[in-house]
Amino acid sequence: MDALSKSVLPPAIRSRFVDHVNGLRMHVLEAGFDGGDRPHVVLLHGFPELAYSWRKIMPALAQAGFHVLAPDQRGYGRTTGWDGDYDGDVGSFRILNLVRDVLGLVAALEIGSVAAVVGHDFGAPVAAYCALVRPDVFRSVALMSAPFAGPPSLPTGEPAREPDIHAALAGLRPPRKHYQWYYSTRAADDDMRNCAQGVHAFLRAYYHYKSADWPGNKPFPLQSWSAGELAKLPTYYVMERDQGMAETVAAEMPSAARIAACEWLTEAELRVYSTEYERTGFQGGLQWYRCRTSGTLNADLATFSGRTIDVPACFIAGAHDWGVYQTQGAFERMRGAACTHMLSCDLLDGAGHWVQQEQPAEVSRLLTQFLEGIA
């Protein structure tokens, strides 16, 4: 596997590989690598993204004096050494092993500690647990789009009988299903990888539908984890029961004129994503969802029940991002209990879920301000 072509990267960013990272050969984008005693920042992407998702803010952070590292995480892009078989080693994608991947990268580069670990989307819980488990290494944390509500509680006494949310969703009219459990099915990868419209068009519609460009993204807090409340979410989160994700987003495919006008994700930039996913498929990223929904694969997180993130923290998301509210109460628990040194929470106008791509200048400003403020 070759490094990512320089032709698709800003001049300040290079692509390279780091070997022996918790069993991986990790592909990393890097900026601010010209030597000197620079503090380090690690950027962790989400789904369905890549290290490339950070291309617009890495030069600004480097210019501010930081050494910036953005890996393709386990299951993604040009990083190799992971098992992408649906029947393979799913447990290697559990959260604490993903934390070990980040620790392994830091160790392989002989970095004693990093000034901040930054996570977007599914990268946010990885970043959160990095800061919670190893605050000596990860001296601050910035979370984007996905609030961290704290570790799960240790079970005590008889397990409570929870209502069957999936049966309740299926009982709606029209019947619905939750995207995370759909992403955990055997069919999900094939549905997206071999969809009728092709991977490029699928990703265009998916990114558009979850961005501020889609006028229906006007999020608000949900009142409960119930079918009636979850049904208020867009169909990219609570899908129609009989449709896959490729069918779901196809209905929201932007026009050719809107695509041409999309400055935050040009066709050339989208081609970087679609080329990678055409090659790898989506199963590597979907394994993360399987760990989340299994009920057992991430059970070791309860070891940290009651523990808080005590290093400096901030939260950044788009004002049009339903991800802030998709889990009822998580945003409030993050601000009120899970992070004891939360310095700022910013919801940016003109951004949906892909905040660091939709509003890179403002995200760069906020991150730089956060990092300089805790220096």
Instruction: Give pLDDT tens digits for 74-117.
Output: 999 999 999 999 999 999 999 999 999 999 999 999 999 999 99
pTM of the model: 0.97
Q: Indicate the pLDDT class of residue 159, thresholds 50, 70 and 90.
A: low
pLDDT above 80 (res 234): yes
Instruction: Give the pLDDT of residue 220.
Output: 97
- Active-site choice (72, 83, 101, 121): 121
Instruction: Give the pLDDT of residue 57.
Output: 98
Instruction: Give the pLDDT of residue 156.
Output: 76
Phi first, then psi: what are they for 26, rounded to 5°? -95, 125
Q: Indicate the pLDDT class of residue 375, thresholds 50, 70 and 90.
A: confident
- Is 121 part of the annotated catalytic residue set? yes
Partnered with residue 21 across adjacent β-strands are 24
Average pLDDT over residues 279-289: 98
Neighbours of 310 (CB within 10 A): 12
Supply angle C-alpha 172, 205, 171, rounded to 5: 5
Instruction: Give the pLDDT of residue 263.
Output: 97
pLDDT above 90 (res 35): no
Sign of the Cα torsion 19, 22, 23, 27 reads negative
Phi first, then psi: what are they for 290, rounded to 5°? -65, -35
pLDDT above 80 (res 51): yes
Instruction: Give the pLDDT of residue 157.
Output: 66
Q: Where in the chain is the domain with CATH 3.40.50.1820?
A: 6-152+299-374
Instruction: Give the pLDDT of residue 194.
Output: 98
CATH of 6-152+299-374, one of 3.40.830.10, 3.40.640.10, 3.60.10.10, 3.40.50.1820: 3.40.50.1820
Closest alpha carbon to 129 in 240, 239, 291, 255: 291
- Active-site choice (27, 178, 208, 353): 353
Average pLDDT over residues 360-364: 98
pLDDT above 90 (res 275): yes
Closest alpha carbon to 146 in 360, 331, 363: 331
Helix axes 199-209, 267-280, angle to 10 degrees: 120
Instruction: Give the pLDDT of residue 161.
Output: 59
Phi first, then psi: what are they for 20, rounded to 5°? 60, 50
**Over the stretch 167-218, which tens digit does the pLDDT of each residue have?**
999 999 999 999 999 999 999 999 999 999 999 999 999 999 999 999 999 9
| Cα torsion through 41, 80, 74, 291, rounded to 10 | -170
pLDDT above 80 (res 163): no
pLDDT above 90 (res 295): no
pLDDT above 80 (res 244): yes
For residues 339 and 141, give the distance between their C-alpha atoms in angstroms, rounded to a whole number. 10
Kindly state the percentage of the chain with pLDDT values over 70: 98
Query: Mean pLDDT for the chain?
Result: 96
Closest alpha carbon to 367 in 54, 137, 128, 61: 61
Closest alpha carbon to 102 in 168, 156, 62, 42: 42
Instruction: Give the pLDDT of residue 160.
Output: 56
For residues 76 and 46, give the distance between their C-alpha atoms in angstroms, rounded to a whole number. 10
| Least confident among 72-86, 150-164, 229-243, 244-258 | 150-164
Instruction: Give the pLDDT of residue 80.
Output: 98
Phi first, then psi: what are they for 176, rounded to 5°? -130, 170
- Is 353 part of the annotated catalytic residue set? yes
